[in-house]
């Protein structure tokens, strides 16, 4: 039995040697000798063949192929191994084209462009197969392992977050959400980008390693969306800040649309080549750390109907009927509550007189100048106080028992008129179900709106006074850190003033 097995192995070895010798002497005639019409004809899609597809393989190539077959090696490793010998200049296994003038000629390849798909890059290799193989390997590894940065500013991020769940499971695309820009190579700008968020977005993009990609998700990100006409704080297109690879419209886009955008991005990555990627990195480094804003021309003229302008009197004491003299300068919500307060005053004049004497009489008794502006629909009295007397009265009210500041806000009375700072105070006592409340209004001139800060009386007014300063430009004296809280420090103007002219567009300098 052992003798028959040995004899059979010798027969197989002899057949293998015979087949090898046959290949050495005859495979040269079977190989493609020169380029023919079959090698130079276009594909069925109409695209010309890329590269030297007609190259003749030497006999050494087929000998090497026999070694792979005999030793049962995967043939997928044969082609890159053979190409490496040709590029490195070793024992050549591929015939390179030779010309009489000893100069390499570049063949012009006309690439068919499709307006729907991404443009094809010029992938013509100059007898460099290793670079082509490395490009394919690099592109495949990057498109299969995109790591998006968890960045969202508004409602579009909810749709993106749903992709992480089991229903859509975007992990099957190799997407792993990362919370650090150092570990991410994809950013989906999901939601509205504001002027204050713009420098932070650019900083996050610059911290991401190369190569990196951007998908502009949602109408607000692409063009500003519904905020593109009259918003003072919205960036009209994130491509003014960072380069965008894929635009994904919608309000908001569905998760299926996000998957489609990622698929298109993967197709784009698969067509990239290394030289173009390096050149793109050098050309797109157009961002600066000094994020300054440049004002564009506005589409608004700023001309208001002079009949609705309220001219402030010489004194800061304003009668209550002045607030509602011009109905166009106030909201319907405020008019509604004012009518209710007038009805309450007429029906309960006697009771209101008693209520009015409770706090107002106490202030008059101590010589504190004020004016009563009436009651709201809940019966809370509104008092007007001069800016010069406000700080001392605030301390007295705190000592009197108003130990809680519910809110502080500000508004513009009318275009060209006074600015009002409103304080809602509450007197909280143990065992009292209905605490006493009072509303204080302090009016300031438009040219120099200065009001004493009550931060040292009620610490909760810190951010609220900063917001009033940011939106209306009211300067609160003795505030420890009076600066903008919502808008950038370089912002020009006060957005919530009624005579404010919204700029047509703001963009970061050196963005293009």
Q: What does the pLDDT look like over 364-408, one tens digit per residue?
A: 766 677 777 777 777 788 888 888 888 888 888 888 888 889 999
At 275 the pLDDT is 58
Average pLDDT over residues 55-65: 55
At 35 the pLDDT is 52
Average pLDDT over residues 287-303: 44
User: Which token pair is 289?
Assistant: 């750390």
Considering only 67-76, 228-237, 314-323, 420-429, which range has the smallest mean pLDDT? 314-323
User: Which token pair is 442?
Assistant: 């302090």
> 217, 216, 286: which is closest to 255 by C-alpha?
217
At 80 the pLDDT is 61
Q: Are 507 and 282 in contact (CB under 8 A)?
A: no
Q: 53 vs 36, 84, 133, 145, 223, CA distance in Å?
A: 11, 16, 15, 31, 46
> 382, 425, 381, 385: which is closest to 402 by C-alpha?
425
The pairing of beta strand 381-385 with beta strand 436-444 = parallel
Top pLDDT among 410 and 33 is at 410
pLDDT value at 142 more than 90: no
At 317 the pLDDT is 38
pLDDT value at 3 more than 90: no
Q: State the chain's mean pLDDT as an integer.
A: 67
Considering only 146-150, 233-237, 503-507, which range has the smallest mean pLDDT? 503-507
pLDDT value at 215 more than 70: yes
Average pLDDT over residues 447-463: 89
* CA 415/CA 306 separation, integer angstroms: 9
Half-sphere exposure for 55 (CA within 13 Å, toward CB): 21
Top pLDDT among 376 and 18 is at 376
> 89, 185, 194: which is closest to 142 by C-alpha?
185
pLDDT bin (cut points 50, 70, 90) of residue 314 is: very low
pLDDT value at 167 more than 60: yes
At 410 the pLDDT is 92
Most confident of 4-8, 175-179, 462-466: 462-466
Asked if omega into 304 is within 30° of 0 (cis), the reply is: no
pLDDT bin (cut points 50, 70, 90) of residue 343 is: low
Question: Could you read off the pLDDT of 227-282 as tens digits, one per residue?
Answer: 776 677 788 888 888 888 888 888 888 888 888 888 888 888 777 765 555 555 44
Q: Are 147 and 175 in contact (CB under 8 A)?
A: yes
pLDDT bin (cut points 50, 70, 90) of residue 332 is: low
Helix (H, G, I), strand (E, B) or coil at 38: helix
At 330 the pLDDT is 43
Q: What residues contact residue 339 under an 8 Å CB cut-off, 6+ apart?
A: none
pLDDT value at 453 more than 80: yes
Top pLDDT among 309 and 258 is at 258
At 293 the pLDDT is 46
* CA 294/CA 296 separation, integer angstroms: 7
* CA 128/CA 96 separation, integer angstroms: 11
Average pLDDT over residues 404-420: 87
> Rounded to a whole number, what is the distance in angstroms from the first to the last CA of the chain?
83
* CA 27/CA 21 separation, integer angstroms: 10
Considering only 50-54, 148-152, 301-305, which range has the smallest mean pLDDT? 301-305
At 147 the pLDDT is 83
* Beta strand ranges found along 296-435 (DSSP E): 371-375, 381-385, 404-412, 419-427
At 60 the pLDDT is 55
* CA 310/CA 306 separation, integer angstroms: 9
* CA 236/CA 223 separation, integer angstroms: 5
> 103, 97, 112: which is closest to 45 by C-alpha?
112
At 46 the pLDDT is 45
* CA 189/CA 258 separation, integer angstroms: 12
At 327 the pLDDT is 38
Considering only 154-163, 227-236, 309-318, 485-494, which range has the smallest mean pLDDT? 309-318
């Amino acid at each position: 039995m052992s003798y028959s097995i040995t004899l059979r192995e010798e027969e197989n070895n002899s057949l293998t040697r015979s087949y090898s010798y046959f290949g050495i002497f005859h495979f040269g005639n079977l190989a493609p000798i020169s380029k023919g019409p079959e090698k130079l004809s276009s594909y069925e899609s109409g695209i010309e063949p890329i590269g030297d597809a007609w190259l003749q393989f030497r006999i050494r190539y087929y000998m090497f192929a026999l070694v792979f077959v005999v030793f049962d090696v995967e043939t997928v490793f044969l082609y890159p191994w053979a190409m490496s010998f040709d590029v490195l200049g070793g024992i050549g296994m591929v015939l390179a084209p030779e010309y009489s003038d000893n100069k390499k000629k570049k063949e012009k390849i006309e690439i068919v462009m499709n307006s729907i798909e991404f443009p094809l890059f010029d992938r013509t290799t100059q007898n460099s197969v290793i670079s082509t193989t490395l490009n394919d390997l690099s592109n495949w590894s990057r498109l299969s392992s995109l790591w998006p940065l968890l960045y969202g500013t508004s409602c579009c991020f909810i749709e993106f977050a749903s992709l992480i769940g089991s229903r859509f499971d975007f992990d099957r695309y190799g997407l792993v959400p990362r919370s650090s820009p150092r570990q991410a190579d994809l950013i989906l700008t999901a939601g509205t980008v504001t002027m204050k968020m713009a420098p932070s977005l650019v900083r996050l993009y610059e911290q991401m390693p190369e190569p990196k990609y951007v998908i502009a998700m949602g109408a607000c990100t692409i063009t500003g969306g519904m905020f593109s006409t009259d918003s003072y704080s919205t960036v009209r297109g994130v491509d003014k800040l960072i380069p965008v690879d894929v635009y994904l419209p919608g309000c908001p886009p569905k998760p299926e649309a996000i998957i489609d955008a990622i698929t298109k991005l993967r197709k784009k990555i698969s067509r990239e080549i290394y030289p173009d990627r390096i050149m793109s990195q050098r050309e797109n480094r157009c961002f600066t750390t000094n994020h300054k804003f440049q004002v564009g021309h506005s589409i608004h003229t700023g001309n208001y109907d002079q009949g609705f302008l309220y001219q402030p009197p010489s004194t800061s004491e304003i009668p209550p009927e002045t607030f509602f003299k011009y109905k166009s300068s106030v909201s319907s919500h405020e008019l509604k509550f004012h009518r209710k307060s007038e009805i309450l005053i007429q029906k309960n004049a006697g009771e209101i007189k008693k209520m009015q004497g409770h706090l107002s009489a106490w202030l008059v008794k101590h010589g504190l100048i004020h004016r009563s502006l009436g009651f709201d629909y809940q019966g809370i009295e509104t008092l007007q106080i001069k800016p010069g007397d406000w700080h001392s009265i605030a301390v007295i009210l705190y000592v009197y028992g108003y130990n809680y500041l519910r809110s502080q806000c500000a508004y513009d009375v009318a275009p060209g008129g006074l600015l009002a700072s409103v304080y809602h105070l509450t007197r909280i006592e143990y065992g009292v179900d209905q605490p006493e409340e009072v509303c204080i209004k302090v009016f300031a001139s438009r040219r120099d709106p200065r009001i004493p800060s009550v931060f040292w009386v009620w610490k909760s007014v810190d951010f609220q006074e900063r917001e009033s300063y940011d939106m209306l430009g009211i300067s609160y004296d003795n505030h420890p850190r009076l600066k903008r809280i919502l808008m950038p420090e370089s912002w020009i103007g006060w957005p919530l003033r009624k005579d404010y002219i919204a700029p047509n567009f703001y963009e970061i300098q050196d963005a293009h």
